[in-house]
Structures are given as C-alpha cells and as structure tokens.
Structure 1
Amino acid sequence: MQTDHRKTRIKGLFSKYRVLLIFGLCLFILGYFWQASKGSWLKRKISILCDTQRNKIDPFHGLLGIKVSRNKTNVLHGLPEIALPRMVYSKPHIFKPPRTDVLTMTPWLAPIIWDGTFNLEILNEQFRQRNTTIGLTVFAIKKYVVFLQRFLATAETYFMVGHRVKYYIFTDRPEAIPNMNVKEGREIVPLRVQNYPRWQEISMRRMEMLSYYSQQRFIHEVDFLVCVDADMQFSNEVGVEILSEVFGTIHPGFYAAERQAFTYERRSTSEAYIPLDEGDFYYCGCFFGGTVAEVHKLTKKCHEAIMADKSKSLEAIWHEESHLNKYFVYHKPTKILSPEYLWDNGLGSPQFLKKKRFLTVPKNHAAIRNKRNSNLK
C-alpha cells in the first residue's frame, strides 16, 4: 500500500509540474545548440566585417577598368584573365631609357606620357580583353556647336582607335549636332543641358553636370571618362595610354614655368587658393579624366568649391580650371599627359615635342562667346 501511495504521489507531482519540466527541457536543448553554434556564428560575422573593410580599401578597384565583386565568394573568380598573344617588339633596356630629354615620372611615381615611353600595341590588347568602353564628354553650348563637325570627324580618326566609345555631347541645341555616321561600337549621345547668359557661368557649371551624370548615368555605361573642350581637334593618335584612375594634362603655356609663375588662384579667400610654395604642374581645364568614380569625386569637389566661392560673391581667376588645379595639388593624379596631348600651334614646335596629338582651334573668342553676328576666325 505504501508503494502504491508513493507511485500515486509521484504521478500527481509530474502531472502538476509537467509543463515546467517540458519547458525546462526545451530551454536546455536550445541552450546546448546555441552554445555549439555560437563560435561559428561569431566567426561568420567577423569574416563578413573583414571582407567589407577589405573591399572598401581594395587597391585594385577601378584599375584599368577591373570591376571587383563585393561578394566574398566571387572576389577572385570575377577577375578577368589577361593573356597577351605572341608579339614581336624591341626589348626594353634598363640602361637605355626611351626618353632622357624630358621628365617621365613624378615624385609620387605617376608616369608622364610622352611619345616613345609606351607600347600602344600591348596596351590596346590589354584594354580590349577587358572590354573597355570609354566615354568622351564635350560641351557645345550656344555657338560652340559649330566646332562639333571637326571635333567628331577628327575623333573618329584618332581617338581610341579600335575601342568602344560613347560621345556624350552636352548642348542646349541637340538639333544642331552633326548627323554623321560613326564606326561600329561608337555612339553619339546628346545630353540637353541648360544655357546660361555668361560664358563664365557655362564654363563653371560643367563640373556640376559632369558630377551629376557620372553618378546617374555614366557609371552604368562606361569604364572611363575623358573630358575635353569642343573647340579642339585631334591631329594624332590619342589612345588607351592616357587611361588611369585619374589623369590631368600639363598646360602648354606653363610646361617649363616655376610654380611662382603659375596662374593659380592666389586670393586666400577663395576655395581655389594655392600658396606660392605649393603645386607641381599647371594643369589645363580642357583635358582631364579617369574612371567614372574618380571623375565623379573630382567634379563634385570642384563644384562644391565653386558654389562656396559663389556664396561669397567670388569667382576664381580661371574659373573651373583654378579649382581643378587646387584639387590636383591635394589629390595627385595617377597619370599625367605631356603637352603632346594639348598644344597650341601658336607656341611653335619645340624639339622635345615629337607629336601634336590634340590641338586648339584658332577662333575669335569675342565672336563665339558674345557677339551674335560676328564671323568666327
């Protein structure tokens, strides 16, 4: 009887507390599995964070148009294999540099591009295998549309021969763009933009428009941007040798000048101010470029500085060119184009200049900018 009474009592206690017992057992099981998986969970989290940080500072992102995947498992598998075919060319010699008459490397190890310092055949093959597309931007506002025919015709002959190109033409008169056939893989893309009464305002607003379109459109369509003026013409080959993360072009009027002679903005109240003891080269505002991301950063920074000056009723001495030079003082270009890539025939033909690749077009500035009925010269 006592045994039966004990069994009955145990059954009663179990019935009374079975919910608590089941709940406790569930907690125990969950706790066991959580403890077992906690280490791997933390490892995964740490790994993801590390991968994110590595991608943020990835030194290869943007180089030569390589798009690095942000997916951890595809970072290595997404890289293209560049294997050059058999080529026959002169062997480079350590003690026989191709040019000794000019500077070919900056103190921050950015190459300065001159004729004879590169093999375009090798570079063309590398960029072709990466399926590179280049955007060429040009502004043709008001009467500047008259320069487009010559500009586009010479670009078709000399610019990025054998590569895909999009000609982005910013204009207030899309109907005035020449109706011309371009080579396969090339396209003329009109972009309608606002006109401004003053040519100085038009010039400075270019940075705003380039920044906006880089973020909204160019980043999805091209790998590199080359930004130039419309009143120019190509006269010799300009190819992929110029492409880099961000490049600038030495102004033909200042290639041999000391920094004190540069026409930098010298007023300390301007955002474009550069002290007399700073600066490397004087860069022209009509030929710069790089990857879309880097051009976006450059133009955004310059536009913000222009607007900051505007709020103080200031205009830099050479408008957006002054701000470009300020940017390059503190954000060094990764490649620099020599005066071969921007020349004015009025400056003659110095011996060091082996080729004239991109030339200014002679014109009457007053006629093209202000006077309606004047003839261009």
Structure 2
Amino acid sequence: MFDPNLFDQKHIQSQSSVALTVFAVGKYLDVYLGNFITSAEKHFMLGLQVTYYVFTDQADKVPIIELGPRRSLKVIQEFKGRFGSEALGDSVALVHAWYYKLPKDKFTYDRNPKSKAYMETGDYYYHAAIFGGLCDNVKDLADYCFLGIMEDKLNNVEALWHDESHLNKYFWLHKPSRLVSPEYCWDPVINEKRDINVTRLIWAPKHYDKLRTR
C-alpha cells in the first residue's frame, strides 16, 4: 500500500516532531501504562523526535522506562481543585506561574530576530501548558504556531521555548478574551504562593535525568 521508508525519510529530513498524550489514572496506570510506553518505543514513530505526555494522578507510580534517542517523557499530575466553566472563553490563555509577578523586561520571550517567535515586548508571559477557546480559534493558534515552527526550521532557527515562544507571539498579535490565573497550573516548587490561595492543577516534578534521553 505504501513505502514506509519514503515517509520516514521525508519526516526525518524535515525534522518532524511528534507528541503522544496518554491519560493514566487509577488502576489504568498500573495495568496499562508500562506496556503502552514499551510498545510505543518498539513501534511508534521510530526515528522521529517523540515526546510522551503522561497525565496522571499518581506521578510517583509512573514506571521508569529506558527511552530511545530523541525521545522523552513528561509527567503532568492532574487536578487538585475545581477547574470549571469559569475558565472557558472564546480564546483562553494561561498566565505563567513563574512570571506573573515579574516586570516585563524579565519575560523570556524569544529575542532572536531571525525567529518567527521574536518579540521585543508583550502584555503577559503565557504558559503553553493550558490554552483553549472556540474550536476555530484553537485551530488558528495551532496553525500559527505550526507554520512559525516550520519556517524557523527552514531557516535553521529554533525558538527559545519552542512552541511556547510561538504561542506567546500569537497571543501578542491576537489578544485572548479570557486570562486564566496561575492557580490553574501552579508549580509547587515556588515556595511562596504570594497571592495564590487555591491551586487547581499543579506541575509534576520533572525528573529529566530519568525520563529524558539526549
């Protein structure tokens, strides 16, 4: 039906990257996750850069699996409090937990004029962990980031924070209708909560030394 090598070489030359998302909660983590990742390492998008995003309520139980080159696994622990309809809007962006109290000159926008994500200034620094809105608006955002990343690749450029840099550029040009507080994706490493009284979704510890390969 098709020549797999032809497709593989095309995407390897284009430096395509792939994200695979899996939800592993409760008993499903124990029963399925290890086999799922192990089988993906044997069969899924071999030769390409792959990131597994594991959403779980038991981050400490995620199995340590040796991954191949250019493949990594990121654990995202799930919800701790109400995450409701107050977060809905036509175009939704999340204010980054590490930057919402900092002055604008401390925001880590991409400062390389050769990148499509280049920004001199902006309103906020947004976290790419959460965004949303109406279907057409989310598609516009995804298309904008994809085209920017592809154009950067053609020019041998990579934005500082990858897709997040392009997302920040998009929201600078197309203002979101709803800003979501950092409490909707809080990093517990920040010892002082400042004015954050409720945490609704939290970052999981990033054990890159165990979960990420070169």
Alignment partner of 1:263 out of 108, 111, 130: 108
Counterpart CA distance in 2 for 1:174 and 1:292 is: 33
Deviation at 1:230, TM superposition (A): 5.3
Give the aligned partner of residue 48 of structure 1: none
Percent identity between the aligned chains? Answer: 33
The superposition leaves residues 11-57 of structure 1 with CA deviations (integer Å, 9 ceiling, x where unpaired) of xxxxxxxxxxxxxxxxxxxxxxxxxxxxxxxxxxxxxxxxxxxxxxx
1:186-212 superposed Cα distances (whole Å, 9 cap, x missing partner): xxxxxx97466435xx59xxxxxxxxx
Q: Which sections of structure 1, spanning at least 5 residues, go unmatched?
A: 1-138, 154-172, 178-191, 204-228, 372-377
- Show structure 1 runs of 4+ deviating over 3 A: 192-199
User: What does the per-residue CA deviation read over 1:82-110, in whole Å, with 9 as the maximum and x for residues that have no partner?
Assistant: xxxxxxxxxxxxxxxxxxxxxxxxxxxxx
Q: Say whether 1:239 aligns with 2:84.
A: yes
Compare relative contact order (CA 8 Å, sep 6+) and give the higher one, 1 or 2: 2
User: Aligned residue for 1:148?
Assistant: 24
TM-aligned CA deviation for residue 148 of structure 1: 2.6
> Aligned partners of 1:343, 1:196: CA distance in 2, in Å?
34
Aligned positions of 1:78-117 closer than 5 A: none
Higher strand share goes to which structure?
2
Flag structure 2 segments of 5+ consecutive residues without an equivalent: 1-18, 38-42, 53-73
Is contact 2:184–2:199 with CA below 8 Å preserved after alignment?
yes
1:118-137 equivalent positions in 2, closer than 5 A: none
TM-score under structure 2 normalisation?
A: 0.69
The whole-number CA distance in structure 1 between the counterparts of 2:47 and 2:86 is: 35
Once the 2 structures are TM-superposed, how far is the Cα of residue 304 of structure 1 from its aligned partner?
Answer: 0.4
Is 2:75–2:204's contact at 8 Å kept on the other side of the alignment?
Answer: no
Where does residue 324 of structure 1 map in the other structure?
167
Aligned residue for 1:360, secondary structure, equals coil
Query: Does the CA-based 8 Å contact 1:140-1:230 persist in structure 2?
Result: no
Instruction: Judge conservation of contact 1:340–1:357 (CA < 8 Å) in 2.
Output: yes
Output the CA distance in 1 between the equivalents of 2:82 and 2:156. 42
Aligned residues: 166
* TM-score where L is the length of structure 1: 0.40
Q: CA deviation at 1:352?
A: 1.3
Structure holding more helix per residue: 1
Q: Structure 1 residue 325: deviation in Å?
A: 0.2
Query: 1:148, 1:230 within 8 Å by CA — same for their partners in 2?
Result: no
Residue among 136, 155, 162 paired with 1:293: 136
Computing the radius of gyration from Cα coordinates, the structure with the larger value is 1
Displacement, 1:257?
Answer: 1.2
Sort the Cα spacing of 1:174 and 1:362 in 2 relative to 1 into closer, same or farther, 3 A: closer
Letter in 2 for 1:261: K
1:218-269 residue CA offsets vs partner (Å, 9 max, x unmatched): xxxxxxxxxxx85132100101111111111011110111121111100101
Equivalent position amino acid for 1:272 in 2: A
- The correspondence for 2:190, drawn from 343, 347, 369, is 347
Match of 1:302 in 2: 145
